[in-house]
A and B are shown apart, each in its own frame.
Chain A
Amino acid sequence: MEKLTIKAKLENLNNVTEFVDSQLEQMELPMKTQMQIDLAVEEIFVNIAHYAYSPEDGMAIIEVELTEDPRVVITFIDSGKPFNPLANEDPDITQTADERKIGGLGIFMVKKSMDKVSYEYKDGHNVLTIEKKLEAITE
């Protein structure tokens, strides 16, 4: 398992995405899967950067684990205010443009594109874990 500890600031978004992508490089993922993972990483890290410590600064830990099956498990840990982003109500995607609210889409996209998403508040930390099945590497 690889781990990145970084200040939870928006300016670090590219560093976080690059860190995760570098762990996945060897898997040669289809573009769709790669984009789904990048999207999930962005939405979750940006949430932490915006809300966890605001208006103070704090750190975020991002752990990436590749399992044999293969799956990728990415865990985001912060020590900010307890906040479960999964508890927010999903947007109603059947509404018209005029009815739709602007916002609330980020975490919804994460839920839709990952195989498993879980949150717990443990020992003073927000721990959000996402999991995605990967296609086996073809020789």
Chain B
Amino acid sequence: MEITQEKNGSSLILHISGRIDTKTAPELEAVVRAALAELTELVFDLGETAYISSAGLRILLLAQKQMNRQGTMKVINVSQELMDIFEVTGFLNILTIA
């Protein structure tokens, strides 16, 4: 997994490529937690994300919970495979997918 951060004031875009699994998720969680407090806009670009397991879903959920209180969060460029996972887990109702 590779994370590219695009920061602009209180807005952050995270471009994530590769696999978000139990082994790689802690790195993503660290990036999200470090930035979260000062954000009003957070975007996850999953265009190059090949795989996401529950370890990745919990990071999206914790970020969404926080952003609901302080701004907006979007998930963009979601592949059909990831869409299926979001659907089965009810994340389509939770996330804003654009």
The reply on B93 being an interface residue by CB < 8 A is yes
Interface magnitude class on chain A:
20 to 34
Q: Are B90 and A38 in contact (CB under 8 A)?
A: no
Taking the closest CB of chain A, its distance from the CB of B95, in whole angstroms, is 8
Tell me the complex Cα distance, A111–B71, Å: 34
B90–A97 contact, CB under 8 A? no
Known A39-B53, A105-B58; judge A97-B94 contact (CB<8 A). yes
Set A42, A100, A103: member contacting B94, Cβ < 8 A: A100
Per-residue B-contact encoding for A84-121, CB less than 8 Å = 1, 0 else:
00000001011111101011011011001100000000
**Chain B contact residues (Cβ within 8 angstroms of A): what range?**
20 to 34
Tell whether B89 is near chain A: CB-to-CB under 8 Å: yes
Which of chain B's residues have a CB closer than 8 A to the CB of A42? 21-22, 53
Q: From A17, which residue of chain B is reached at the shortest CB distance? A: B21
Report yes or no: B54 in contact with A106, Cβ–Cβ below 8 A. Answer: yes
Bound-complex Cα distance A12 to B44 (A): 28
Docked CA distance A68–B28 (Å): 41
Using Cβ atoms and an 8 Å threshold, which residues of chain B touch A113?
88
Answer yes or no: A66 CB below 8 A from chain B CBs.
Answer: no
